[in-house]
Amino acid sequence: MFALCVVAACGGGGGGGGSASAFNTTEFQTNYGLARISALKAYDNGGTGSGVTVGIIDSGIDLNNTEFTGRIAAASIDIRDNSSAQDTDGHGTQIAGIIGAARNNVGIHGVAFSSTILAIQVADSTTLAFDDAATAINTARTNGATVLNLSFGNAAGVSTAFQNALQAAVNAGIVVAVAAGNSSTAQAEFPARFANCTGQALVCNGFNAQGNMIAVGATDTNNNLATFSARAGDTASAFLVAPGVSVVTTALGGGTTTVSGTSFSAPHVAGALAVIRQKFPTLTASQAVTLLLSTATDLGNSGTDMVFGRGLLNLGGAFTAQGLAVLPTGTKIGDSSVPLGGSTVKLGAAFGNALQTNALLGKSIVLDSYGRPFSTDLGSAVLGGTIDTGITGFVRAPEGRNRTVATGGTGTLSLSMVPAVQSRSDLLTFGNVRPDPATERVDSAFFSGSIGAATDFSLALNASSVRLFDDIANFAGDASPFQGLEFASAPQLTLVGRGDGGGGSYFVDPRTRITLGFMESAADPLTGAPGNSLMQAALTHGLAFGPVVRVGIGRTHETATLFNTSASGAFGAVGDTDGTFLNIGASIPIRAGLAAHVSYTDVSAEALYSGDGYLKNWSTVRASAFSAGLTRKGLFRKEDNAGIAIYQPLRVYGAQADLTIPVGTEPVPGGAIHYQTERVDVTPSGREIDLQLAYRWQPTDILNAATYGVIMLNPGHDNTAKTALGAGLRLWLDF
């Protein structure tokens, strides 16, 4: 699972008034509108409006009110006579309170409680000249406002000067929240009705909102449309509703007052736009508007409708990542990227839990569909191998029926037969006849023969690598009671598993044997990529005083993996790998029926190419495996075989790679992606040590039985993993 949160803040607060958020104070609760627009999530994630200037074109502001101390822009003015912006009406102060009243444990606080207010006085309670408002908009534009609140309107239209000023503002990237009007009409008043205009004639009169305007209607405490509010009408696609009935806000002269009107719905949206522009500076103006429109809570008829438009403002929803989260791979926002869900590192068992707790992975960002950075921990993108106690393989029935055929001379052919058609009822729908259930095909074949007295050879078709390379795989001989121990003795065999190949052996003398073999696994059926291969040579020698020693060297070639590790998406690709495996081992007879066995493998591997991704430039990878144990034949009866072994599966003990992670962005639209690169260890935190007890016997000529138990300490080479246990009993018949 990937958890996404706004960069640099991942709060636990939600949206409603019942949240445990530290921002859910009495001051917050006094204006129910804050909870109704789900503002807590924004606050919990660092949304304050700080640094954003909101222009309020209205009746001015109460300059001495402590709710605005230190946050009234110096350019605030009464545009009509270039005098003080001191409010004498109260309307502008009430709007300013909803937008930006301070969070100071007094009265209420605004949606964007740290924003700066540029108050431009153009009206009192009875008069407003659109040409004065035009001058005010131009003043706001030239004095740094990036958000405008217009809580006035006229059903008949606006002046040419006003339309030109508003056009200049949206062209400059200013976002505008406009009250829809209080006349209960089916259409918003002007200028709100301009909100979704794109330059057409008639209603729009050539005006182009550039996607930077929102018309705002009013809802009551039950999310019903206020009886006085204008409906969305033909502005529906750029229309939101917000609380506008019985809203508590800042009063002229101090304290609070309760107000109603779309004049007080619009500042909820203006404040939300200020918070969005502060917290997500990579958004363009139109993206900020689209974000609020697309995350609104749907009200009324499903989808955009002619009453509620896009729905109720949901500031908390806007703080949630939108669309498909992607990992950037380019230099700028909007450049190349890769879906987060398709970017993984799948570690082979030898790497254990490597990288999963790497601190740099926890600093990563992803981008949402708006190009906004959200924090995520890419540690969850590093997938470790599953912990396998071996029980499944131990108790699993053979996949096919084995047949051994004498070929004359000293040769034998072993065949594994499976039904010719298995679970292919789909074929029957095309008129095919169901095959005879007794019909079989060859699943695998293994031929062994001799040339003279000193040379043996073998050929394998989709056969087990353990059988082809039995001289290095069999820890305690062909009758070994152990389960899976051959892969601790010769871990290179796990890289080919089953495949096609062949080999030969030459007896230098009765005690000395040299073997050479080659195997290649099948090609990937989906990609057609060739399989892995193994070239293996070994020398086995029996010493005069009893012990048998062996030395082997294997050369592996992995296709697009490194010890079965692969990467995808933003992590790039692991290319082909060449590995060299050095095996040494010995079987030491102690007394009749009792023998000790030891093995050690050391590995060196080179990644030939590791792609252009977050994980690349691998060092030489070093790994090892070892095992030691005792076997006893005839422990309880003549035909039984018991054993105890302690072993370490293949474990990487030396590996480094360059890890490059996106950690931030330049805070502007289309800004640069910031990456951080570290040379990291790709080794596990622990060392898996397994203890296995095994017993095998043959009660009758055809009945076989085996038991198996294992204790795994630090399974998966993870020092935090709990001890794993496994045990099983298997019975089978030989015919």
Euclidean distance between CA atoms 98 and 112, whole angstroms: 8
Name the active-site residue from 38, 263, 444, 627.
Answer: 263
- Is 268 among the residues known to form the active site? no
Q: Which amino acid is at 578?
A: D
Secondary structure (3-state) at 381: helix
Task: Of 34, 199, 40, give the one whose Cα is nearest residue 101.
Answer: 34
Cβ pair 118, 56 in contact under 8 A: yes
Q: How many C-beta atoms surround the C-beta of residue 694 within 10 A?
A: 23
DSSP string, 89-134: SSHHHHHHHHHH---SSSS---TTTTPEEEEEE-B-SS-B-HHHHH
- Is 541 among the residues known to form the active site? no
- Is 91 among the residues known to form the active site? yes
Residue 393 host element (H or E)? helix 391-395
Q: What are phi and psi of 322, to 5 degrees?
A: -110, 140
Q: Which amino acid is at 133?
A: A
Name the active-site residue from 58, 87, 132, 690.
Answer: 58
Euclidean distance between CA atoms 31 and 627, whole angstroms: 71
Euclidean distance between CA atoms 223 and 246, whole angstroms: 12
End-to-end CA distance of the chain: 50
Map tokens 């190949």 to a residue. Answer: 501
463's tokens: 């056969």
Task: Of 270, 198, 189, give the one whose Cα is nearest residue 232.
Answer: 189
Q: What are phi and psi of 40, to 5 degrees?
A: -60, -40
Cβ pair 480, 640 in contact under 8 A: no
Euclidean distance between CA atoms 678 and 363, whole angstroms: 12
Map tokens 């709007």 to a residue. Answer: 95
Task: Of 179, 175, 153, give the one whose Cα is nearest residue 263.
Answer: 179
Cβ pair 156, 190 in contact under 8 A: yes
Cβ pair 207, 199 in contact under 8 A: yes
357's tokens: 């707790």
Name the active-site residue from 78, 91, 337, 597.
Answer: 91
Cβ pair 215, 222 in contact under 8 A: no
Task: Of 98, 114, 96, give the one whose Cα is nearest residue 31.
Answer: 98
User: Alpha-carbon torsion 434, 438, 439, 444, what sign?
Assistant: positive
Cβ pair 344, 381 in contact under 8 A: yes
- Residue positions annotated with a catalytic role: 58, 91, 263
